[in-house]
Amino acid sequence: MIRSVGHISAMSPYALAQLEAPEGKPLISLSQNESLRPPSPLAIEAAAEAMKAGHLYPDPDWSELRAALSGLHGIPAEGILCGCGSMELISCLTQAFADEQNTVLAPAYAYPFFRTAAQLARARYDTAPEQDRCASVDALLAAVRDDTRIVFVANPGNPTGTRIPRAELVRLREGLPGDILLVIDEAYGEFADHLGEPMFDLVGCGDTVVLRTFSKAYGLAGMRIGWGLFPPEIAREVRKVMNPNNITTAGQAAATAALVDQAYMRETCRETAALRDEFRGRLVKAGLDVPESFTNFILIRMKSAEEAHRADVALRAEGVFLRPQGGVGLADCLRATIGASERLDLTASLLEHWMNGGKT
């Protein structure tokens, strides 16, 4: 038998969404945090046109996309790296800056891929307690050890949907030693941009990276395009472990065109927020614990892990798939992506019916 190397053999596979609807039931997936709407028509048109050059390798420097991001956000193009989703950038950062002699630190209920990336780099993965399902700066600072090399914070958080204000992230950066890399993952940043608390300026200090993605607000999850702003020295090392042809020509064209249509993206965020808040309000009224969310999903907390499992089973029996959160230590929670209004209405009705003991 051919065996994988030790640290890979010890890993559990990354938990994928289980999406097999019962026979006769249409699949309603609210489990993957995909966008409420398709991409901008400009992005679709640009991707189709780019396919005419599909026989050529893509631009390894993402020149047009970097220039568009630079112009939109007022950041230096040379500091931007683009990846096959932000997952690639998270993985490459960890490979470049952590190993078996280092520790990666994150909040207790952090995005699960942070752990996976640490395991791939053979680094120990530490967590810090959260407060009310929100990252705690005090807890993170208290959890720093002599061998801590990277601190990951998703803001807004996944799967919690909560966020910490800019002042707290600045306090975290100022409290960390200068040889610890802070990575702020803003995959859902566009849903909170209206609060006016950008974080890109922290990158100028040389010890912070800010990541974003086109998968959520821009509706390009299937294209796999992430990006981030990096200090020059950090970017240089990360590029050494990146695939030099990571984003397809069509993907780069779609993302660049999507940036032009900011009105479409902002409308997606507004529609999502309106549906999210209405859905959340209905579930709270039904007696469920649902924290305020700053993303395109909500976290639903049940009274126990057993109750969450029973609710999940009841929903799946009707073809509705939420995402159980036992893998991040929230076994009493289900995460629900904000989808079309009729899907949310059905989900809310099923949960209300279930909360009422199945009585009409």
Q: What does the pLDDT look like over 270-280, one tens digit per residue? A: 999 999 999 99
User: What pLDDT sits at residue 205?
Assistant: 92
Q: From residue 223, how far is each of 63, 176, 232, 326, 340 by CA, in Å?
A: 17, 35, 27, 28, 21
Q: How many residues does the chain have?
A: 360
Average pLDDT over residues 196-218: 97
Mean pLDDT value across residues 155-164: 96
State percent of the chain over pLDDT 70. 94
Q: Is the pLDDT of residue 9 over 80?
A: no
pLDDT score at 92: 97
Which token pair is 22? 């019962």
CA–CA gap between residue 30 and residue 241 (Å, rounded): 34
Q: Residues 89, 109: contact at Cβ < 8 Å?
A: no
Mean pLDDT on 259-275:
98
**Looking at residue 22, what is its pLDDT?**
67
Map out the domains of the chain with their CATH numbers: 24-38+263-355 (3.90.1150.10), 41-260 (3.40.640.10)
Using the Cα atoms of residue 166, residue 167, residue 172 and residue 173 in order, give the sign of their dihedral: positive
Distance between CA atoms of residues 338 and 21, nearest Å:
19
Q: Is 299 exposed, middle or buried (0-12, 13-18, 19+ CB in 10 A)?
A: buried
Give pLDDT, residue 15. 60
**Taking all residues of the chain, what is their mean pLDDT, rounded to a whole number?**
94
CB contact at 8 A, 121 and 98: yes
Average pLDDT of the residues in 177-187: 97
Give the max Cα distance, the chain: 62
What digits encode the pLDDT tens for the residues 161-177? 999 999 999 999 999 99
Q: Is the pLDDT of residue 16 over 70?
A: no
pLDDT greater than 60 at residue 360 = no
Weakest mean pLDDT among 15-24, 100-109, 243-252, 253-262: 15-24
pTM: 0.93
Which residues have a Cβ under 8 Å from the Cβ of 27 and sit 6 or more positions away? 19, 21, 319, 321
Distance from the Cα of residue 55 to its chain's centroid: 32
